[in-house]
Structure 1
């Protein structure tokens, strides 16, 4: 249902996509991970026909973004990084408007709006202006708008950015229900827990190309051995604790420090035996430990290993390409037959 074939896209001297290839089957979730500036949103804009690739092709439900852009849009729903709802309209009016833009008559558009309001638990606020809604409610309304025309493919570009935990859980529930109904979902996210929970297949991209892909389990296994996490009681002891962990893990080990949470982490080839040695050495050096654990690798470890920094990092890289990418995006606006959508460019 989604196929990206060797797509490249540049903005001046900046290469946002560099031979990117992806695919997703019917009724599955493809999770697209990458730091800011990696090419996630440029990929979204190519798939949604808002940008034309310099080379390669992308297909949605079998239709090419180059030769059949109208058919791509007819089979595609989009929810951008920010909820694209008209704050002056009610929840019902927002969905009814989208239905009319897709060419539905008034009666069909109204029936579909009521159906979605019930499905997304918004019936009680159907007559209220969406400007009064919470972030989670606005996101649910935006997602409902993305599927008014029952698209075969839905693209969700960082759908839970800025939401509180309740709003994130609501959004995850909506995505799960979409997939259960046979919809194919492309999910771009920096929340690794989100990808772990929702995605059937994950592709990690950086500098516009895929650097790893597989299921969440396969990617975690690629991160190698178990890891030791040690939380120190005093911030002043972090450096000394890191030295202890490095000595225990071997000369090639690179302990990771999290000063905010007073945590030191390192790969543990010997598992629990190494944990015992580390705790004994920390005790002998009078370095008090608040807690210690031995755990399997997470997607965070995979992301850090592959990209060199944590999932929420990389702001500078994204900002470097922001201006030229934004100018290119403005040149290709969504047509009147497509549901309104707002996409922030993250080249």
Structure 2
């Protein structure tokens, strides 16, 4: 299955595109964002295969986003949504290797063709995507690693990239810069006075020392992250989610509400709940959906809407992932 991210500031357009994307069951919408800046931050957490982005958005627009993806050499295929009067502006994105342009309102058949074209282009990344995922997995669990495990896993990841014979040297440099950049970002969210340590050389001894220093600094300050104040923020966030799980919520919504950075919120949320934000939210929604299915008064698509899912295919897939059954199978197993 191919992971898709939709970037669009209009909620109803995002929902409509998400529903069309998931119709075939080949693609999964793993994230949504309302502007380019939020989207770029989210990409570094979920690593979608394909990004479908509107061209005109607040904060940072779609042209900025596709340029950042291209210049950072991220293993992501981009597709642009554009209005008729924006098309010439959108054409500037050709220099950033955009796969396709879709004119709004989006037609399902055109979207399918664009997704198929994007899917064919993913082979150009080879194994590069796997290394990005390995970097993200390291940061997903960094808060749970004791000092010995932390240093060991960091060293293993550096060695994995350095020794990879499937990667070109230019790709290794990009991976090390990404790894270092995320580490610097994480430290700076906790210690704003921290002076960033960019990668200045690709020599093996330098790279090992560079990441050792970053790991040492993180270990020294991580106790500041997991204090009572931060625990209270996550508790309030969980309370809010339990009361508003059926609404259209994103990590960005939560970070704005609780005045915390996306990186820090994601780290703390996983540390204190044991789940990512998306998995925790889906758990609340599916628990609510199960109760509605047991009551038997609503049709499955009505249950999906009540639980906060924008599309029935997405609801069916998440429900089966978490319960091992489809909604209808669950209903039958409850003798309803």
Shorter-chain TM range is under 0.3
TM-score (norm 1): 0.25
Higher alpha-carbon Rg: 1
Q: Per residue, is there more helix in 1 or in 2?
A: 2
TM-score (norm 2): 0.25
**Larger RCO: 1 or 2 (CA < 8 Å, sep 6+):** 1
